[in-house]
Chain A
Amino acid sequence: MISFSPTEEQQMIVTMVKQFASDEMRKIYRECDETGEIPDNVIDTAWKMGLTSSSIPEDYGGSGGEHSAITGSLINEELAWGDLSMTMHIICPALFAYPVLEMGTETQKKKYLPLFCAEKYKAATAALIEPRFDFDPYSLSTVAQPDGNQYVLNGDKCYVPLAADADVFLFYARENGNSQGFIIEKGTKGLEIGEREKNMGIRALATYEISLKNCRIPKENRLGGEKGCDFNHIMNHSRVALSAMATGVAKAAFEYSRDYAKERVAFGEPVASRQTIAFMLAEMAIEIDATRLMTWEAAWKLDRKEDATKEASLVKAYADDMVIMVTDRAVQILGGHGYVREHPVELWLRNGRGFVTFDGMAIV
């Protein structure tokens, strides 16, 4: 039956995450963006909410909840409303954990999943994006070559979140023309982590370039073993996660510019009482809602284990355009004030611009 109402449990989680986003993230996000650092205690507080471990089965140390893309979408929107850098940091371990949970071999699950059920935050990450303009997740330059009972990996990756702190990495590489996942542990020879990257937005999130130079790993480190992984399915989970986050960032920018427009007086009236501003806000609100509903529909398909490629890629393309439209307008509505760093809208515009680039940097 068609319904747009989250379950009671989902509503409780949303309330909790929303509280965290406004009490913790919103207090420090500007400072984090300026310094490029996120305080450990915020990450620890977020970790205690168990957002990742809750969907890991009890056998591997988790709390055995259902792994739901709809719940994940609801959470990601609220977190990203708080701050995108922190969101990506907080859920970064899921980049590794969820593909292993969904598609890993029993050995892989037993070995790695308990890491994410520990009391302290454990960085783990995934590397997909490559530093070239025509980057295509389905046609990677990074190559995995079988050699006896090993794989040899070569190639360059970028935008790898938390690479310097991560103990385990999931690398996506081309094997026989297909994109597949490969688990590489910290310290493996040939895994060279470069300098921290300097980006236009998500400045508080530490991302790195990584080079793989004849990096040898055992054959059993291929995600899913001989069966491999359904890479497209992972991409769909990423598209949904990013669409939900884009909705959250856009919602933050919409709310701020709406409130500003009601306060700011020009020609004797709040600027919001002019249709030229009011209609911008109306369109922003409509497009944010539309994106959220499309995200839910794609997530719903994922949860039913159906092929969601069409829905997920449609909503991702829509969300990419929507978030830049909304955040740009938020800056525009604030005028000169939108351009200065005293207000947050310029930060959201910089973060919003990135979504079209962030493929594979989040997962739901």
Chain B
Amino acid sequence: MIDFELTPEQQAGIKAAHEAAKELFRPVSRYYDEQEHESPQELIDNIWKRRNEGLFDLGMDAVAAFRIEELCWGDAGLFLCIPGPGLGGAAIFSSGTREQMERFLGSFNEGEPKWGAMAMTEPGCGSDTAAISATAVHDGNEWVLNGEKIFVTWGKRAAENPGGLVVVWATVDKSAGRAGMKSFVVPAGTPGMRVEKLEKKLGIKASDTATVTFDNCRIPFENILGSPEVKKVDKSQTKGFKGAMATFDATRPIVAAMAIGVGRAALDFVKETLENEGVKIRYGVPKQKLTALERDVIEMEANYKAAKLLTLRALWMMSQLQPNSLESSMAKAKAGLAVTKITQKAVEIMGPLGYSRKYLLEKWMRDAKINDIFEGTGQINMLVTARRILNYSRDQLK
């Protein structure tokens, strides 16, 4: 049955996430935007204490989208400081064995705060993940990793805090192309893994975006996710690459949900400001009778809703164990662009209030933009969508 109802427990969970965002994130939102690279230690400790409340779990169902939206309504940069297995965890969940999940993630919730990260992008390759040049060489009962990874979200926290982990994508055989691409779990503090620098960014400044290098970094053989074998003969056997893509099916709707949270923060700000000034947005009025302002706000709201429903669908399909590559990419492409536009329009509408650092709106515009870039740019997600609807391979649609 087509249904959009949330159970009372789900509603309570979403409300609690909203309250947490309001109490924990909003008051320090501006501070950590201005003090880039300063770790919000108190906030992290607070969240860690409350980790069993379920508010801060990513989750892989439609309700998770609501929770993530609320938290990112609070602050998307601080959201990315929340301890947890993060994208590294998503990679382990989507292509690891049960034993690996237990070994790497089993005690993630215990002791001190821990983070997981995923390292894929390199200076010479972004969305073209199959062109990765980092290498993994099998040596005895170990893998030896070499290479440089950039734009690693959670990179510093994951690589340096005990108990954390970084999932690294590297090739075991360059001549094999995609089939040679594998992912490896590198525990925090492994010798040879080093954080070289933190990026200075346009937005989500509270989130650490690190360059992580691997210099003869040795990890146990059993830290490879998926099969170590490279099947060169059959071109369809590109499991390693498919593992990366399966991870994206899970993470793209989560990024879309983040985007939606930032978009709603901007929308709420616009609507509240207008309401306080006695400007009402009328629904159900013929288009030709609406003011230009009403048209703008209605368009923003409709786009927010469109992005949200596409995201809910993608996550719902995942929870139903249905293949959702197409729907994940659709949601991510739509949400990233919609929210970029919504926040930019909001700044325009609010005029001097929008541009001033006295309010958070200008920050949300800067924060929003990342959602159209990371976990696959809007264009890459359009490409994935196009290939799926056309039933085209990479060679047929480049």
Q: Which residue of B lies closest to A74 (CB)?
A: B2
What is the CA–CA distance of A300 and B2 in the complex, to the nearest angstrom? 8
**B residues adjacent to A (C-beta < 8 A):** 1-7, 62-63, 283-289, 298-299, 301-303, 305-307, 309-310, 312-313, 316-317, 320, 327, 330, 333-334, 379, 382-383, 385-387, 389-390, 392, 396-398
Set B2, B288, B396: member contacting A6, Cβ < 8 A: B2
- 16 pairs of residues in contact across A and B, judged by CB atoms under 8 Å: A2-B3, A2-B63, A2-B312, A10-B2, A136-B289, A138-B285, A285-B385, A285-B389, A286-B310, A290-B310, A294-B305, A297-B4, A297-B305, A318-B303, A318-B305, A356-B287
Cross-chain contact B385 with A2 (CB below 8 angstroms):
no
Cross-chain contact A272 with B392 (CB below 8 angstroms):
yes
Besides A287-B306, A300-B3, A314-B298, 7 new A-B residue pairs in contact (Cβ under 8 A), listed by A number? A4-B312, A136-B285, A262-B390, A275-B383, A286-B310, A293-B312, A310-B284
Cross-chain contact B1 with A290 (CB below 8 angstroms):
no
Name A126-149 residues within 8 Å CB distance of B: 133-138
Stretch from A44-52, A168-176, A219-227, A276-284 contacting the other chain: A276-284
Q: Which residue of A lies closest to B390 (CB)?
A: A272
Cross-chain contact B330 with A4 (CB below 8 angstroms):
no
Cross-chain contact B306 with A291 (CB below 8 angstroms):
yes
A150 close to chain B: CB less than 8 A = no
Interface size class of A (residues with CB under 8 A): 35 or more
Cross-chain contact B1 with A278 (CB below 8 angstroms):
no
Set B2, B6, B334: member contacting A5, Cβ < 8 A: B2
A317 close to chain B: CB less than 8 A = yes
A202 close to chain B: CB less than 8 A = no
Closest approach, in angstroms, between the C-beta of B294 and any C-beta of chain A?
A: 11
What is the CA–CA distance of A282 and B389 in the complex, to the nearest angstrom? 7
Cross-chain contact B330 with A5 (CB below 8 angstroms):
no
Set A137, A258, A273, A286: member contacting B330, Cβ < 8 A: A286
Cross-chain contact B1 with A7 (CB below 8 angstroms):
yes
Q: Residue among B288, B307, B317 with the most chain A CB within 10 A?
A: B288
Cross-chain contact A3 with B298 (CB below 8 angstroms):
no
Cross-chain contact B7 with A1 (CB below 8 angstroms):
yes
What is the CA–CA distance of A164 and B57 in the complex, to the nearest angstrom? 62
Cross-chain contact A6 with B310 (CB below 8 angstroms):
no
What is the CA–CA distance of A290 and B63 in the complex, to the nearest angstrom? 18
Cross-chain contact B389 with A5 (CB below 8 angstroms):
no
Closest approach, in angstroms, between the C-beta of B333 and any C-beta of chain A?
A: 6
Cross-chain contact B389 with A290 (CB below 8 angstroms):
no
Contacts of A4 in B (CB 8 A): 2, 312-313, 316-317
Contacts of A309 in B (CB 8 A): 283-284
Contacts of B283 in A (CB 8 A): 309-310, 313-314
Set A7, A70, A285, A318: member contacting B302, Cβ < 8 A: A318
The answer to whether A289 and B397 touch (CB under 8 A), given A136-B289, A297-B4, is no
Contacts of B2 in A (CB 8 A): 3-7, 10, 70, 296, 300
Cross-chain contact A286 with B334 (CB below 8 angstroms):
yes
Q: Which residue of B lies closest to A8 (CB)?
A: B1
Cross-chain contact B4 with A2 (CB below 8 angstroms):
yes
Cross-chain contact A3 with B302 (CB below 8 angstroms):
no
Contacts of A333 in B (CB 8 A): none
What is the CA–CA distance of A13 and B398 in the complex, to the nearest angstrom? 40
A250 close to chain B: CB less than 8 A = no
Q: Residue among A293, A309, A315 with the most chain B CB within 10 A?
A: A293
Closest approach, in angstroms, between the C-beta of B255 and any C-beta of chain A?
A: 16
Cross-chain contact B382 with A282 (CB below 8 angstroms):
yes
